């Protein structure tokens, strides 16, 4: 539950900072935040479940989730850039910043969970 609360607070801070930073929000601003929120939460709980039920497969499945995220997010950002080339830099910047924040939180919580 702490993970979801931390992720939710971070998402709200990203939204607040986005409203402060951009006079006009990038076209895929909210969609990007929702996608990354759901992706981070889903993968975190999936990996915690794997750690509890099949700990010997944890590392392999963690690496697999990295590959799946890379492909899925690559397709998403390609769609975003092709759909609105005028705001490609803003959309990509929001994506990269939010991805970095959410992934850092996910790794921190996973590290603590794996080492308890």
Q: What is the DSSP string of 28-79?
A: THHHHHHHHHHHHHHHHHHHHHHHHH-GGGHHHHHHHHHHHHHHHHHHHHHH
For 63-112, how does the pLDDT look when each residue is reduced to its tens digit (9 = 90+)? Answer: 999 999 999 999 999 999 999 999 999 999 999 999 999 999 999 999 99
> How many of the other CB atoms lie within 10 Å of CB of 41?
16
Domain count, the chain: 1
pLDDT at 96: 96
pLDDT at 115: 85
User: pTM for the whole thing?
Assistant: 0.91
For 6-63, how does the pLDDT look when each residue is reduced to its tens digit (9 = 90+)? Answer: 999 999 999 999 999 989 999 999 999 999 999 999 999 999 999 989 889 999 999 9
Q: Rounded to an integer, what distance in angstroms lies between the CA atom of residue 105 and that of residue 107? A: 6
The domain of 105 spans 2-114
């Amino acid at each position: 539950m702490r993970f979801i609360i931390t992720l939710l607070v971070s998402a709200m801070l990203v939204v607040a900072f986005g409203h402060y930073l951009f006079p006009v929000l990038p076209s895929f601003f909210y969609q990007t935040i929702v996608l990354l929120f759901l992706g981070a939460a889903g993968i975190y709980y999936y990996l915690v479940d794997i750690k509890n039920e099949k700990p010997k497969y944890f590392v392999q499945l963690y690496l697999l989730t990295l590959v799946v995220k890379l492909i899925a997010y690559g397709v998403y950002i390609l769609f975003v850039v092709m759909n609105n080339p005028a705001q490609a830099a803003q959309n990509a910047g929001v994506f990269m910043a939010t991805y970095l924040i959410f992934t850092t939180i996910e790794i921190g919580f996973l590290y603590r969970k794996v080492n308890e």
